[in-house]
Amino acid sequence: MRSLRHLPRAAAIFAAFHAAALPALRAQPTLKDTYRGMFHLGAAIRPDQVNGRTPQAAELILREFDSISPENVLKVGPIHPRPGNDDSSYDFAPADQFVDFGVKHKLFTIGHTLCWHSQLPAWLDQQQKSAEPTITKAELTQFLRDHIMKVVGRYKGRVHGWDVVNEALNDGAGGYRQTIFHRVIGQDYLVMAFKWAHEADPAAELYYNDYNLDANDAKRTSCLELIKYLRANGAPITGVGMQGHYNLNTPSAAKVDETIKLFADLGLKVMITELDVRAVGAAPVTGAVGAGGGGGRGRGAPPSLTAEQQQALAQRYADLFAVFVKHRAAITRVTFWGLRDTDSWRRASSPLIFDDHYQPKPAYHAVLNAAKSAGPAKAK
Ligand code: G3I
């Protein structure tokens, strides 16, 4: 340390104190620093967090994460609300801001999602709700192709991985969800969606994304069959997204471990794409909207947790991340579905690792510490 003799006495004392305290004050390792070389750490983010309106959110995102997912702005309804395929049919601005933020900060940027039965444009949602949809197979096929080619093409080279198809499988007994796409086009919409996405951006990773793959054996079996079907028909699938909308105790860490291994053994990349853990309440995740109510900001502040509840949440995240670290050779990303409890679609159960004031909860430190469970790094 440079001599302090040249400084006035008071300044010398402060400089000495600062230098002595510096190691302790030096920025703590962040989530992305801690997991660098194992897998990306991401968060689902909202427009106000990347358009300058919430600088505190942007600061937290850039400090802690190296990947971002769009909570809503790249879904079919929000980005393509009007029939037709010229630019006037689309609302690109919020998605452009999201992607530009990723490019500016060199983040691993995700596109969620190109084909999902929820958050469809109103005109198509009416068809889906109809027992006898009037849209023809040719019309819907054209719409889906146009949408995928236009959106993936627009962000070519800037969105690195796409949830091409989201939640195409039933809960309960498994099998295919009877979405408008399945009913009108047929099962091969799944194959075509992946092929179109690959045609539009051959370098992008392409995923199938769903929830409860580790909580419902029938659904998991259906997912394994779906992957086999996609591959048998030449669909270029890169990986599978296990959403990870968990409760405090279900599914068990062992079940999560077993499921990751099943997909990894197929040579797929595995991602935890929408991680959150109900800290209070234990209703099963019964559907994209049913589980915790649709998103939006909901009402009221998330419940503040007791010390016991904070500790239970921290332990659950520690157990989950120990499994992710164990499978780091296959896992390429873990994304939290939201930044703070307030931002969560499940806000009523305080499920995330940052509180309303962007402060880390005990669960945050548990996630950091879980990285220490890594043995010698395995080659990727
Ligand atoms: O943008 C409109 C706004 O204009 C309108 O005033 C407001 C009225 O309530 O609604 C706003 O849209 C809401 C949208 O979130 C944006 O805030 C929708 O109503 C609301 O349903 C939608 O909820 C989203 C939900 O998906 C829809 O199913 C949640 O934010 C989002 O976190 C959630 O995320 C899904 C994943 O995409 C797929 N996996 C399940 C996960 C949880 O459902």
pLDDT tens digit string along 23-50?
443 478 899 999 999 999 999 999 999 9
Say if residue 87 is in the same domain as residue 223.
Answer: yes
Task: Write down the pLDDT at residue 335.
Answer: 99
Say if residue 71 is in the same domain as residue 217.
Answer: yes
Has residue 101 got a pLDDT over 90? Answer: yes
pTM over 0.85: yes
Q: CA end-to-end span of the chain, whole Å? A: 41
Instruction: Please count the structural domains in the chain.
Output: 2
Say if residue 238 is in the same domain as residue 315.
Answer: no
How buried is 377 (Cβ within 10 angstroms: 0-12 exposed, 13-18 middle, 19+ buried)? exposed
Residue 119 in contact with ligand 1 by CB distance below 6 A = yes
Has residue 276 got a pLDDT over 90? Answer: yes
Say if residue 226 is in the same domain as residue 81.
Answer: yes
Task: Write down the pLDDT at residue 321.
Answer: 98
Task: Write down the pLDDT at residue 301.
Answer: 79
Which protein residue has the closest C-alpha to ligand 1 atom 42? 288
Q: How far apart are CA 161 and CA 110, in angstroms?
A: 5
Q: Which domain holds residue 369?
A: 27-41+55-65+267-380
227 touches 194 (CB < 8 A) = no
- Most informative mutation of 48, 71, 113 for ligand 1 (most atoms within 8 A of CB): 71
What does each C-alpha distance from 342 to 71, 286, 296 come to in angstroms?
A: 14, 21, 10
Q: Is there a domain that residue 262 lies in?
A: no
- Most informative mutation of 69, 112, 116, 119 for ligand 1 (most atoms within 8 A of CB): 119
Q: What is the mean pLDDT of residues 102-126?
A: 98
Per DSSP, the residues of 23-88 read: HHHSPPP-HHHHHTTT-EEEEEE-HHHHSSS-HHHHHHHHHH-SEEEESSTTSHHHH--SSSSSGG
pLDDT tens digit string along 53-84?
999 999 999 999 999 999 999 999 999 999 99
pLDDT tens digit string along 163-194?
999 999 999 999 999 999 999 999 999 999 99
Cis before 78 (ω within 30): no
Among 127, 126, 112, smallest CA distance to 76 is for: 112
Which protein residue has the closest C-alpha to ligand 1 atom 16? 296
Q: Is there a domain that residue 2 lies in?
A: no
CA gyration radius, the chain: 22
The residue from 242, 277, 309 where one domain ends is 242
Has residue 285 got a pLDDT over 70? Answer: no
Residue 335 in contact with ligand 1 by CB distance below 6 A = no
Say if residue 237 is in the same domain as residue 120.
Answer: yes
Mean residue pLDDT of the chain comes to 91
Strands 331-336 and 40-45, sheet pairing: parallel
Say if residue 146 is in the same domain as residue 224.
Answer: yes
Residue 257 in contact with ligand 1 by CB distance below 6 A = no
Residue 343 in contact with ligand 1 by CB distance below 6 A = no
Ligand 1 centroid, distance to 295 Cα (angstroms) = 4
Say if residue 212 is in the same domain as residue 293.
Answer: no
Q: Is there a domain that residue 258 lies in?
A: no
Give the ligand 1 atom nearest the CA of 113. 37
167 is catalytic: yes
Q: Is there a domain that residue 1 lies in?
A: no
Say if residue 97 is in the same domain as residue 169.
Answer: yes
Say if residue 172 is in the same domain as residue 305.
Answer: no
Say if residue 173 is in the same domain as residue 210.
Answer: yes
Q: Is there a domain that residue 191 lies in?
A: yes
Tokens 């989201």 belong to residue = 166
Among 199, 138, 158, 171, smallest CA distance to 288 is for: 171
Q: Is there a domain that residue 248 lies in?
A: no
**What three-state secondary structure class fits 339?**
coil
Q: How far apart are CA 133 and CA 66, in angstroms?
A: 42
Task: Write down the pLDDT at residue 69.
Answer: 99
Q: How far apart are CA 87 and CA 66, in angstroms?
A: 31
Ligand 1 centroid, distance to 71 Cα (angstroms) = 8
| Domain CATH code at residue 75 | 3.20.20.80
Q: Is there a domain that residue 252 lies in?
A: no
58 touches 42 (CB < 8 A) = no
Residue 290 in contact with ligand 1 by CB distance below 6 A = no
64 is catalytic: no
Tokens 């194959």 belong to residue = 191
Say if residue 173 is in the same domain as residue 234.
Answer: yes
Element of type H or E holding 242:
strand 239-242
Q: How far apart are CA 88 and CA 81, in angstroms?
A: 10
Which protein residue has the closest C-alpha to ligand 1 atom 10? 296
DSSP designation for 352: S
Task: Write down the pLDDT at residue 11.
Answer: 55
How buried is 84 (Cβ within 10 angstroms: 0-12 exposed, 13-18 middle, 19+ buried)? exposed
- Residue 176 phi, psi (nearest 5): -85, 135
Has residue 288 got a pLDDT over 50? Answer: no
Among 359, 266, 372, smallest CA distance to 57 is for: 359
Give the ligand 1 atom nearest the CA of 344. 32
Q: Is there a domain that residue 334 lies in?
A: yes
Q: In this structure, how many other beta carbons lie within 10 angstroms of the beta carbon of residue 235?
A: 23
Ligand 1 centroid, distance to 293 Cα (angstroms) = 9
168 touches 179 (CB < 8 A) = yes
Residue 294 in contact with ligand 1 by CB distance below 6 A = yes
Residues whose CB falls within 8 Å of the CB of residue 329, separated by 6 or more in sequence, listed in order = 264, 378, 379, 380
Which protein residue has the closest C-alpha to ligand 1 atom 24? 295
Say if residue 170 is in the same domain as residue 273.
Answer: no
- Most informative mutation of 45, 273, 289, 343 for ligand 1 (most atoms within 8 A of CB): 289
